């Protein structure tokens, strides 16, 4: 019964999405206010009914209703209740429902927080979001219905994939999806601007905070995924250049370009056509990611069960949405006026180069990811490119970007003398290079050219980011107190500083882990000492233990450093009872400067085991860095001028106003 | 005008490729194990539960490790090819009997022929996980130092053998003679 209610709510949500995409659009065209206002009501209704639908599915999981096929396939009575809830999005059908729920949540948020926007603008934005909603709800209903019944009902469920039974995986997909579909808002704003033909830069100011928040979600989502891979896969790695990781990374790169180009368009009303294109591109890549994960065109650890019907549907949808919007773009973009002029050395140029580098990086990843597919389609022998390709092309592109990151924020709009930049930044250049040389030598007594360059880049990023904000406090005029000078700094600027510091911290982590990691994959007898990176590891014993829905062999590993005990780690090898899937649960001691990571392999005989030990310096900095980036983005999105937007816009309506830099 | 059409044109080409890709099988997967040694394992052999086989038992100038199971329909398809390789070309093939039932696996070999030097019996699929097995069938090429040189996801055919395995094998065996 509950499953039928859920399904019915899904159908009602579809009807509301249809209303949301047609009526406001006609209203905006005819300038009919009551028709336009249908958008808001329908968006709220769509969200409400999708929420009902989602709650119904969750209810089926929690009550172990194995007469629902999806529940029977992905849950089990012995599964702890929190994993029964997260199992709702543990496979294709349910995660799609979560996806449409997230989409409607964004639509709902737009309808609430954009009351002060011109009615025709908001009507068009909601209509575009309604169309995307139709596409995905239909996809759910036609090819991937999570409420399908199973007759006769199963006695017991087949359990959730053990890889997904991890706290990191409980929140990773919702975050990622919020990020993916969040770009639909910026996309809808861009399309609404193209549709209305009002191509001034007003829509940019409304779109900017939405793009930032979506970017924050995506950043957190990707970071959680990487953190999960490190903790769960037992390989001690944090990024694998897996097609699905790439699928989430591409919209991230373009989203990063977008939030930077939005600044230029907002402040200088230039790059308009480019910003529109990036808005379309960011969401298109989200859709492409969905296609890659769910169609089975590429093989990946993440792939959902592939089904050609689903692939054809999403590809068709992709063609309509992306093809349609790019055609609309080609048709309208000719009408863009040229914005403020700028010279070769200026903030505009630097942000332009930033955008070009990020987009080129995205394209190289796209090519690398789809390379096997291209070759196959052309009938050539298959080849695939692995991490060496990505490192070889990605790092050289990112290096100038980091250099630019230090210069861009202090450069002036329109024109800035090179001399002025150099005199301000030479100290940091020297300091950065010095730290790049000294730090690795001081900590590890060893270095390589790439390590030095990497650390110098990280130091440069952090120091220049601090300088951008601190100079405003240091160079205040005598009458203002430090506190007052600080309070005058716009939040957007603080956000930028924190995000850029985050990038520096991230690079530090990446460079140190890749340069100074150490590992051993060996077989050991109980009590045998293994030395690694100055630590001594002893596998004392392996005992059997019984978990809630699994049995495990748990090793206890004593770690000492120069005979001083450091920690005892308990890596596990689990067998989940229902699916009989073996799982590796590494034992990890996390530290600020290094992680010790052990995982069990296979038993060789009664007192000898396969054993993997990893020493991972600075690895936590990778995630601390991404967290800082996300915090920075959030702070930027909460800037005062967006909060006051409602008041300002009520008066000025769509007339663009300039904000102090 | 034309330059604004560039994005949509690129996208159309991409869509074409994706559409073709839908009907292709992404059989060749980049494996993180290529260039790495065979994972450490110790398991009983399929035919004799008392006999233990470990990673050190995979020997020879080169060897194939073939992941198979009786529940896997595609394995039946490739089986005849494996038997042919083993008998006519004297290819050393080690089987990894993956998540299978011992009795039915032995029965299968009696019925369709046994191309394997020996079979590792991986009932729980633990060894398969260490090999990074996505599903059966999969075939690994291992050199004389126990390093994995190549991996095939999907069915082994004479065509795949000619194009992917033969050149690799020549390459790794010629290195040895030098």
C-alpha to C-alpha distance for A284 and A212, rounded to whole angstroms: 17
In this predicted model, what pLDDT tens digit does every residue of B32-43 receive, in sequence order?
Answer: 678 888 888 888
Determine the 3-state secondary structure of A214 from DSSP: helix
Q: Which residues of chain B are at the A interface, by a Cβ-Cβ cutoff of 8 Å?
A: 1, 4-5, 7-8, 11-12, 14-15, 17-24, 26-30, 32, 37, 39-43, 52, 54, 99, 124-127, 129-130, 134, 153, 163-164
Closest listed residue to residue A277, CA positions, set A330, A200, A353, A211: A330
Tell which of A582, A600, A606 to mutate to test the B interface (max B CBs under 10 Å).
A582
Q: Of A119-123, A363-367, A637-641, which gets the smallest average pLDDT?
A: A637-641
Determine the 3-state secondary structure of A143 from DSSP: helix
Half-sphere exposure of B77 (CA within 13 A, CB side): 11
Tell which of B9, B26, B34, B157 to mutate to test the A interface (max A CBs under 10 Å).
B26
Where is A589: in which H helix or E strand? Answer: strand A587-589
Determine the pLDDT at residue A25: 94
Predicted confidence band at A605 (pLDDT cuts at 50, 70, 90)?
Answer: confident
**Number of domains comprising chain B:** 1
Residue B2 resides in a domain: no
Tell me the mean pLDDT in the region A184-211.
88
Give yes or no for a contact between A620 and A509, defined as CB atoms under 8 angstroms apart: yes
C-alpha to C-alpha distance for A184 and A43, rounded to whole angstroms: 14
- By the CB < 8 Å criterion, does A546 face chain B? no
A602 closest CB neighbour out of B5, B19, B40? B40
Determine the pLDDT at residue A480: 77
Residue B79 resides in a domain: yes
- Residues in contact with A22: Cβ distance below 8 Å, sequence separation at least 6, in sequence order: A127, A130
Among chain B residues, CA nearest to A367 = B14
CATH of the domain at B54: 3.40.30.10
B22 closest CB neighbour out of A299, A312, A322? A312
Given an 8 Å threshold on Cβ–Cβ distance, is B8 in contact with A575? no
* Confidence check: pLDDT of A435 > 50: yes
Judged on CB neighbours under 10 Å (0-12, 13-18, 19+), A222 is buried
Residue B68 resides in a domain: yes
Given an 8 Å threshold on Cβ–Cβ distance, is B26 in contact with A299? yes
Among chain B residues, CA nearest to A273 = B4
The distance of A54 to chain B (nearest Cα, Å) reads: 30
Which position has the higher pLDDT, B28 or A12? A12
As given in the structure block, the two tokens for residue A629 are: 């980036």
Whole-number mean pLDDT of chain A? 87
Partners of A323 on chain B (C-beta within 8 Å) are 8, 11-12, 15
C-alpha to C-alpha distance for A147 and A140, rounded to whole angstroms: 10
| Tokens 């006695």 sit on residue | A155
In this predicted model, what pLDDT tens digit does every residue of A169-193 receive, in sequence order?
Answer: 788 888 999 999 999 999 999 999 9
The distance of A231 to chain B (nearest Cα, Å) reads: 16
Given an 8 Å threshold on Cβ–Cβ distance, is A376 in contact with B22? no
Structure pTM? 0.80
Predicted confidence band at A353 (pLDDT cuts at 50, 70, 90)?
Answer: very high
- By the CB < 8 Å criterion, does A330 face chain B? yes
As given in the structure block, the two tokens for residue A322 are: 């992306």
* Confidence check: pLDDT of A197 > 90: no
Closest listed residue to residue A528, CA positions, set A517, A545, A518, A541: A541
State which residues form the domain around B35: 28-177
Partners of B27 on chain A (C-beta within 8 Å) are 382
B-contacting residues in A 184-213 (Cβ below 8 Å): none
Tell which of B3, B14, B21 to mutate to test the A interface (max A CBs under 10 Å).
B21
In this predicted model, what pLDDT tens digit does every residue of B118-168 receive, in sequence order?
Answer: 999 988 777 887 887 766 788 999 988 888 888 887 778 888 888 888 888
C-alpha to C-alpha distance for A86 and A228, rounded to whole angstroms: 15
Residue B165 resides in a domain: yes
Judged on CB neighbours under 10 Å (0-12, 13-18, 19+), A313 is buried
CA dist list (Å): A176 to A183, A217, A251, A633, B68: 11, 6, 11, 16, 36
B-contacting residues in A 374-393 (Cβ below 8 Å): 374, 376-377, 381-386
Given an 8 Å threshold on Cβ–Cβ distance, is A326 in contact with B99? no
Given an 8 Å threshold on Cβ–Cβ distance, is A376 in contact with B12? no
Given an 8 Å threshold on Cβ–Cβ distance, is B26 in contact with A584? no
In this predicted model, what pLDDT tens digit does every residue of A12-26 receive, in sequence order?
Answer: 999 999 999 999 999
Q: What is the DSSP string of A446-493?
A: ---HHHHHHHHHHHHHHHHHHHHHHHHHHT--TTS-HHHHHHHS-HHH
A381 closest CB neighbour out of B37, B153, B163? B163
CA dist list (Å): A211 to A109, A131, A191, B144: 13, 19, 14, 54
Determine the 3-state secondary structure of B149 from DSSP: strand
Tell which of A244, A310, A329, A376 to mutate to test the B interface (max B CBs under 10 Å).
A376
Determine the pLDDT at residue A417: 85
Residue B4 resides in a domain: no
A315 closest CB neighbour out of B22, B99, B163? B22
Residue B77 resides in a domain: yes
B-contacting residues in A 606-625 (Cβ below 8 Å): 610
Partners of A311 on chain B (C-beta within 8 Å) are 22
Q: Of A330-339, A392-401, A567-576, A647-656, which gets the smallest average pLDDT?
A: A647-656
Partners of A308 on chain B (C-beta within 8 Å) are 22-23
* Confidence check: pLDDT of A58 > 90: yes
Whole-number mean pLDDT of chain B? 83
Determine the pLDDT at residue A618: 94
Tell me the mean pLDDT in the region A48-74.
95
Tell me the mean pLDDT in the region A134-149.
93
The distance of A543 to chain B (nearest Cα, Å) reads: 17
C-alpha to C-alpha distance for A335 and A322, rounded to whole angstroms: 20
Any alpha helices (H) in A296-386, and if so which ranges?
Answer: 308-318, 324-332, 347-377
C-alpha to C-alpha distance for A325 and A277, rounded to whole angstroms: 9
As given in the structure block, the two tokens for residue A128 are: 């575009």
Residue B101 resides in a domain: yes
Closest listed residue to residue B68, CA positions, set B153, B162, B159, B176: B153
Partners of A319 on chain B (C-beta within 8 Å) are 15
Residue B69 resides in a domain: yes
- By the CB < 8 Å criterion, does A320 face chain B? no
As given in the structure block, the two tokens for residue A510 are: 């990446």
């Amino acid at each position: 019964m509950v499953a039928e209610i859920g399904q019915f709510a899904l159908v009602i949500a579809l009807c509301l999405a249809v209303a949301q995409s047609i009526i406001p659009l006609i209203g905006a065209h005819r300038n009919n206010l009551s028709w336009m206002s249908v958008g808001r009501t329908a968006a709220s209704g769509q969200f409400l009914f999708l929420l009902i639908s989602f709650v119904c599915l969750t209810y089926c999981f929690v009550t172990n209703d194995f007469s629902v096929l999806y529940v029977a396939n992905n849950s089990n009575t012995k599964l702890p209740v929190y994993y029964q809830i997260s199992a709702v999005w543990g496979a294709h059908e349910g995660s799609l429902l979560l996806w449409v729920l997230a989409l409607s949540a964004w639509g709902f948020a737009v309808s609430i927080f954009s009351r002060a926007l011109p009615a025709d603008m908001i009507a068009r934005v909601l209509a575009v979001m309604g169309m995307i909603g139709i596409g995905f709800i239909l996809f759910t209903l036609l090819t991937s219905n999570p409420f399908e019944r199973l007759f006769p009902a199963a006695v017991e469920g087949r359990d959730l994939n053990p890889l997904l039974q991890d706290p990191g995986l409980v929140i990773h997909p919702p975050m990622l999806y919020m990020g993916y579909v969040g770009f639909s808002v910026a996309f809808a704003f861009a399309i609404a601007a193209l549709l209305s033909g009002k191509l001034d830069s007003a829509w940019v100011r409304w779109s900017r905070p939405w793009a930032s928040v979506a970017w924050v979600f995506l950043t957190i989502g990707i970071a959680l995924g990487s953190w999960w891979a490190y903790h769960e896969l037992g390989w001690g790695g944090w990024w694998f250049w897996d097609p699905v990781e790439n699928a989430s990374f591409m919209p991230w790169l373009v989203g990063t370009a977008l939030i930077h180009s939005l600044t230029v368009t907002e402040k200088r009303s230039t790059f308009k056509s480019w910003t529109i294109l990036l808005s379309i591109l960011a969401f298109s890549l989200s859709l492409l990611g969905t296609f890659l994960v769910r169609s089975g065109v590429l093989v990946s650890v993440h792939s959902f069960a592939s089904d050609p019907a689903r692939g054809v549907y999403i590809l068709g949808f992709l063609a309509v949405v992306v093809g349609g919007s790019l055609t609309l773009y080609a048709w309208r973009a000719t009408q863009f006026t040229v914005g403020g002029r700028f010279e070769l050395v200026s903030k505009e140029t630097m942000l332009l180069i930033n955008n070009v580098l990020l987009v080129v990086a995205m394209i190289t990843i796209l090519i690398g990811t789809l390379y096997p597919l291209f070759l196959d389609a052309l009938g050539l022998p298959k080849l695939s490119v692995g991490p060496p390709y990505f490192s070889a092309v990605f790092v050289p592109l990112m290096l100038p970007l980091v250099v630019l990151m230090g210069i861009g924020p202090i450069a002036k709009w329109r024109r800035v003398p090179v001399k002025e930049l150099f005199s301000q930044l030479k100290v940091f250049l020297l300091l950065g290079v010095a730290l790049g040389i000294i730090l690795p030598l001081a900590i590890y007594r060893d270095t390589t050219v790439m390590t030095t360059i990497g650390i110098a880049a990280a130091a440069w990023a952090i120091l220049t980011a601090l300088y951008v904000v601190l100079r405003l406090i240091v160079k205040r005029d005598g009458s203002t107190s430090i506190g007052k000078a600080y309070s005058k700094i716009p939040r957007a600027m603080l956000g930028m500083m924190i995000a850029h510091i985050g990038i520096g911290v991230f690079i530090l982590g990446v460079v140190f882990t890749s340069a100074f990691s150490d590992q051993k994959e060996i077989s050991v007898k109980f009590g045998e000492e293994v030395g690694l990176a100055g630590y001594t590891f002893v596998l004392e014993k392996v005992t059997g233990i019984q978990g809630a829905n699994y049995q495990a062999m748990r090793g206890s590993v004593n770690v000492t450093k120069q005979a001083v005990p450091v920690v005892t780690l308990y890596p596990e090898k689990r067998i989940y009872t229902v699916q009989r899937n073996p799982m590796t649960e590494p034992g990890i001691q996390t530290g600020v400067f290094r992680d010790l990571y052990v995982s069990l392999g296979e038993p060789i005989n009664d007192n000898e085991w396969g054993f993997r030990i990893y020493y991972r310096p600075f690895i936590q900095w990778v995630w601390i860095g991404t967290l800082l980036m996300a915090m920075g983005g959030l702070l930027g999105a909460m800037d005062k001028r967006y909060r006051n937007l409602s008041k300002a816009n009520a008066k000025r309506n769509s007339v663009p106003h300039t904000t102090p830099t | 005008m034309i330059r604004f059409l560039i994005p949509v044109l690129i996208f159309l080409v991409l869509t074409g490729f994706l559409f073709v890709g839908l009907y292709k099988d992404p059989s060749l997967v980049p494996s993180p194990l290529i260039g790495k040694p065979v994972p450490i394992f110790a398991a009983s052999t399929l035919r004799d539960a008392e006999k233990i086989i470990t990673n050190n038992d995979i020997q020879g100038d080169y060897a194939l490790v073939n992941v198979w199971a009786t529940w896997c329909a595609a394995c039946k398809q490739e089986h005849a090819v494996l038997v042919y390789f083993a008998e006519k070309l004297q290819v050393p093939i080690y089987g990894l009997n993956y998540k299978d039932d011992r009795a039915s696996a032995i029965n299968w070999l009696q019925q369709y022929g046994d191309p394997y030097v020996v079979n590792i019996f991986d009932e729980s699929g633990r060894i398969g996980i260490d090999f990074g097995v996505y599903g059966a069938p999969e075939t690994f090429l291992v050199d004389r130092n126990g390093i994995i040189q190549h991996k095939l996801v999907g069915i082994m055919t004479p065509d795949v053998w000619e194009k992917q395995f033969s050149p690799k094998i020549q390459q790794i065996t010629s290195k040895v003679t030098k």
